[in-house]
Chains A and B, each alone.
Chain A
Amino acid sequence: MTVLKSREALLALAILVSVGIIAMRFPAFVAPGNLANVFNDTAPLMLLAIGQMIVILTKCIDLSVAANLALTGMVAALMNGAGVPLPLILCAVIVLGGVLGAVNGVLVWKLGIPSIVVTLGTMTIYRGTIFIMTEGKWVNAHEMTEGFKALPRLVFLGLPVMSWIAIATILIFAVVLTRTALGRAFYAVGGNPHAAVYAGIDVGRTQFWAFVISGALAGFTGYLWVARYAVAYVDVAGGFELDVVAACVIGGIAIAGGAGSIWGAMLGAIFLGVIKNALPVVGISPFWQMAISGTAIILAVAFNAAQSRPKGRLILREAAQ
């Protein structure tokens, strides 16, 4: 645990240092209001990163989250257009997202298909479904009710509701992951699937629940996204799944499963959020963002690997000391 803690401290330090450097030239960036904006802007990434992190813990990967988000977001917008009340829409997006996640989960659990193949497939299917539903038409701001659009932006105690949702979700899952049987099962399944069976844990079923959680979070975020940006179309959040995986990798979630903490994943997401928001401030073209996050992924995975290199048996006495 000490290694993990130090890694998260290191990441937090890296974020603070980069924010500090930006602040020296552009003090406006660290104004509380702006920092709150950065946080709020990063909320969708954090929500999806929680789900992705859980999936990765169980030795799987979910590349369908962004497509899931776009599909449920579109369904939310269409329901809103059909006059469905908001509470019902909120329930519907979580359920629909969960069902889409469950489809991935069943294919991995019951048929044993590698998750990368499953979610590559469902990613194109989910996004294509939006097109088939809408024939490529957009749902624009004026087609959405005010209440639908307002919820994520409502300000409560100085922060938008979207930020509060992210904070609440992080806290809930921090407890779920450390204090519930299912939470510990995610770690056990990824860390040692063989032993998990002997501990009475069903590996496939645990992976299934990871996908359901990832899907439900993506579904919920789908509503938040569409409501906040007040537009829904086929390519919403295109390629966002890579940012989500990047946040996890940067946050030290081991791609081989079983290791990592929610705080790491959240710091990874915030790191990407800070970069994205800082680029225009420091006057760098936003086109740099993609290359920077790619580099961050590579550096993070190299760092992870350097830390977990096997050390041999340390047979010699002097080596053991």
Chain B
Amino acid sequence: MTAPAPRIVVDRLHSPFRRALRSWETILLVVAVAVFIGNTFLSPYFLNAWNLSDATFNFTEKAMIAFAMAMLIVAGEIDLSVASIIALASTAMGLVMTAGAGVPVIVLVGIGTGLICGAVNGFLVAGMGLPSIVVTIGTMSLFRGIAFIVLGDQAFNGYPPEFAFFGQGYVWWVISFELVLFIIFALIYWAVLHRSTFGRAVYAIGNNATAAQFSGIRVQRVRFILFLLTGVMSGVAAVCLTSRLGSTRPSIATGWELEVVTMVVLGGVNILGGSGTIPGVVLAAIIMGMVTFGFGLLNVPGIVMSVFLGALLIGVIAVPRLLRGK
């Protein structure tokens, strides 16, 4: 048989610019701008540096968890226990605070609790091979359950004044500590998911975990690390949230797991795994924060806001499918 001349296969079919133009992130960007403009028309108070700064608190803590959750969902797993980790981490911080610990210890205990919770999830999913959705429904009850056992209907109050910085402090002018943290984490997670070998392993696992294992990727180790990261980020969010509220109740951050998942899915991450980007999640976080703030300016109650978010979650997935004729 005569072999045909070897063909040159080009690197890229379309230029990166053309690709970006047709991407989900571009749609999100347009929506974000529209919401921004809408808000300025809705309320004369919106275009005020301090008000805008306030608005960021609506999403910074959830977004930090959403970055780790995005990677986890890209890898084909999910963690529904994140809000419960916040509750347990906050309770642990309250305990050491009552025992007289200083701010550094409180913070470390908060993040450390998140790490341990993440390790528990990671062990159950990656170590024992259990389905993550059921495992984290279980740990969701377990972690918050422990917080309830410790606190019952009580609350921890009286955090040291210096502790308030994490959730209430400003680094410079209207730029809050939380906002800075959000930006730093966004950059780190962007680099890890889109530019590192670890991120590539995450995508490979999300698309085909068996083939990834057959390609020499340590699948279970990657999964374990992803759960650790989600736990740690929940711990960090617990520090910020506890600091912002100045108290710990076992019902703290109730329902956040849904908001975080909504943020991730709205950001264009495929709930079945395999695709999604950090810029998408950043834009989704900003949109959700600004919509919440806009509703707040209109005095719409939070629960109505959640109806809107629920509809948004279904809508963003349904509309493209409807347009494509399924």
Classify A-B as touching or not with yes or no (CB < 8 A): yes
User: How far, in angstroms, from A298 to B304 measured CA to CA in the complex?
Assistant: 34
User: How far, in angstroms, from A22 to B130 measured CA to CA in the complex?
Assistant: 31
Which of A110, A121, A128, A292 has the largest count of B CB atoms less than 10 A from its CB? A121
A128 and B310 in contact (CB under 8 A), knowing A245-B137, A302-B124?
yes
User: How far, in angstroms, from A127 to B135 measured CA to CA in the complex?
Assistant: 25
Residues of chain A from 252 to 271 with CB closer than 8 A to chain B in the complex: 255-256
Interchain CB contact under 8 A, A256 and B131: yes
A125 and B311 in contact (CB under 8 A), knowing A113-B318, A288-B149, A301-B134?
yes
Contacts of B271 in A (CB 8 A): 114, 116-117
User: How far, in angstroms, from A291 to B124 measured CA to CA in the complex?
Assistant: 16
Interchain CB contact under 8 A, B149 and A291: yes
Contacts of B309 in A (CB 8 A): 124
Is B322 engaged at the interface, CB distance under 8 Å to the other chain?
Answer: yes
Contacts of A131 in B (CB 8 A): 301, 303-304, 307
Chain A binder among B27-35, B36-44, B140-148, B214-222: B140-148
Interchain CB contact under 8 A, B304 and A132: yes
Total A-B contacts with CB atoms under 8 angstroms apart: 136
Candidates A107, A116, A293; contact of B133 at CB < 8 Å? A116
Write the A130-142 contact mask toward B (1 if CB under 8 angstroms, else 0). Answer: 0110001000000
Contacts of B133 in A (CB 8 A): 61, 116, 255
Whole-angstrom distance from the CB of B90 to the nearest CB of chain A?
16
Contacts of A245 in B (CB 8 A): 134, 137
User: How far, in angstroms, from A285 to B152 measured CA to CA in the complex?
Assistant: 8
Is A305 engaged at the interface, CB distance under 8 Å to the other chain?
Answer: yes
Tell me the dominant secondary structure on chain B's binding face.
Answer: helix
Candidates B146, B258, B306, B326; contact of A111 at CB < 8 Å? B326
Interchain CB contact under 8 A, B138 and A290: no
Contacts of B144 in A (CB 8 A): 290
| Interchain residue pairs with CB less than 8 A apart (11) | A110-B326, A114-B271, A124-B307, A131-B307, A132-B304, A242-B137, A255-B134, A288-B145, A291-B149, A296-B138, A302-B130
Q: A residues within 8 Å of B by Cβ?
A: 61, 107, 110-114, 116-118, 120-125, 127-129, 131-132, 136, 234, 242, 245-246, 249, 255-256, 285, 287-298, 301-302, 305
Given contacts A120-B261, A121-B311, 19 further A-B contacts (CB under 8 A): A112-B326, A114-B271, A120-B313, A121-B314, A122-B314, A124-B306, A124-B309, A125-B307, A128-B303, A242-B137, A242-B140, A245-B134, A287-B145, A288-B148, A291-B141, A294-B140, A297-B134, A298-B142, A301-B130
Q: B residues within 8 Å of A by Cβ?
A: 78, 124, 128-131, 133-135, 137-146, 148-149, 152, 258, 261-262, 265, 271-272, 301, 303-304, 306-307, 309-311, 313-314, 317-318, 321-322, 326
